Chains A and B, each alone.
Chain A
Amino acid sequence: AQSVAQPEDQVNVAEGNPLTVKCTYSVSGNPYLFWYVQYPNRGLQFLLKYITGDNLVKGSYGFEAEFNKSQTSFHLKKPSALVSDSALYFCAVRDTGGFKTIFGAGTRLFVKA
Chain B
Amino acid sequence: DAGVIQSPRHEVTEMGQEVTLRCKPISGHDYLFWYRQTMMRGLELLIYFNNNVPIDDSGMPEDRFSAKMPNASFSTLKIQPSEPRDSAVYFCASSGGLAKNIQYFGAGTRLSVL
A interface with B by C-beta (< 8 Å) = 32, 34, 36, 41-46, 49, 51, 90, 98-106
Q: How many A-B residue pairs have CB under 8 A?
A: 52
B7 adjacent to chain A (CB < 8 Å):
no
Main secondary structure of the interface of B (DSSP, over half): strand
Q: Contact flags (1/0) for B76-114 with A, using CB distance below 8 Å?
A: 000000000000000101010000011111111000000
How far does the Cβ of B69 sit from chain A's closest Cβ, in whole Å?
14
B interface with A by C-beta (< 8 Å) = 4, 31, 33, 35, 42-43, 45, 48, 50, 55-56, 91, 93, 95, 101-108
Task: List 16 extra interface pairs beyond A36-B103, A42-B108, A43-B107, CB under 8 A.
Answer: A32-B101, A34-B101, A34-B102, A41-B108, A42-B107, A43-B4, A44-B91, A45-B105, A46-B103, A49-B102, A90-B43, A99-B31, A99-B95, A101-B103, A104-B42, A105-B42
Pick from B55, B56, B93, B95: contact of A43, CB below 8 A: B93
How far does the Cβ of A6 sit from chain B's closest Cβ, in whole Å?
10
Chain A positions within 8 Å of B35 at CB level? 103
How far does the Cβ of B12 sit from chain A's closest Cβ, in whole Å?
16
- Report the separation of the CA atoms of residues A36 and B95 in the bound assembly, to the nearest whole angstrom: 14
Chain B positions within 8 Å of A102 at CB level? 45
Report yes or no: B101 in contact with A51, Cβ–Cβ below 8 A. Answer: yes
Report yes or no: A99 in contact with B55, Cβ–Cβ below 8 A. Answer: yes
Chain B positions within 8 Å of A103 at CB level? 35, 42-43, 45
10 closest A-B pairs by beta carbon, nearest first, are A43-B105, A103-B43, A44-B105, A105-B42, A46-B102, A43-B107, A43-B106, A100-B56, A43-B108, A43-B91
Report yes or no: B107 in contact with A101, Cβ–Cβ below 8 A. Answer: no
Report yes or no: A100 in contact with B48, Cβ–Cβ below 8 A. Answer: yes
17 A-B pairs within 8 Å (CB atoms) are namely A34-B102, A36-B103, A43-B105, A43-B106, A44-B43, A45-B105, A46-B102, A46-B104, A90-B43, A98-B55, A99-B31, A99-B33, A99-B50, A99-B55, A99-B95, A102-B45, A105-B42
